[in-house]
Amino acid sequence: MKIEIILCENISETCTGLTCFEAPKLVCDLIMVAKPIKGIVIVDNEVIKFSFSPAGMDGDIFSDNINHRRLIKYLIPLFVANSLETN
């Protein structure tokens, strides 16, 4: 499985914040100061748009595929945490 994350300023979707993302408490505490992000995740050449707000651990995943949704809801908080540690 190949996964790529690309951040974007505009994903041309109406974001509602109705998806709850998941992460261990340590990660949640670390990313609380991060800015909201939008972008796309490419999973095996399939594009899925997302939005994510670290402060509320919520956002949107624009896919009906339950496996992609599950992957993204755990992956994006870790991606944000890793981005903070490398900056």
- pLDDT tens for each residue of 28-55: 999 999 999 999 999 999 999 999 999 9
pTM of the model: 0.91
* Domain ranges, ordered by start, for the chain: 3-86
Largest interatomic CA distance in the chain: 33
Quickly state the pLDDT bin for 21 (edges 50, 70, 90): very high
The more confidently predicted of residues 57 and 87 is 57
- In this prediction, residue 32 carries a pLDDT of 93
**pLDDT-based confidence at 1, cuts 50/70/90?**
confident
Handedness of CA 62, 67, 68, 71 (dihedral sign): positive
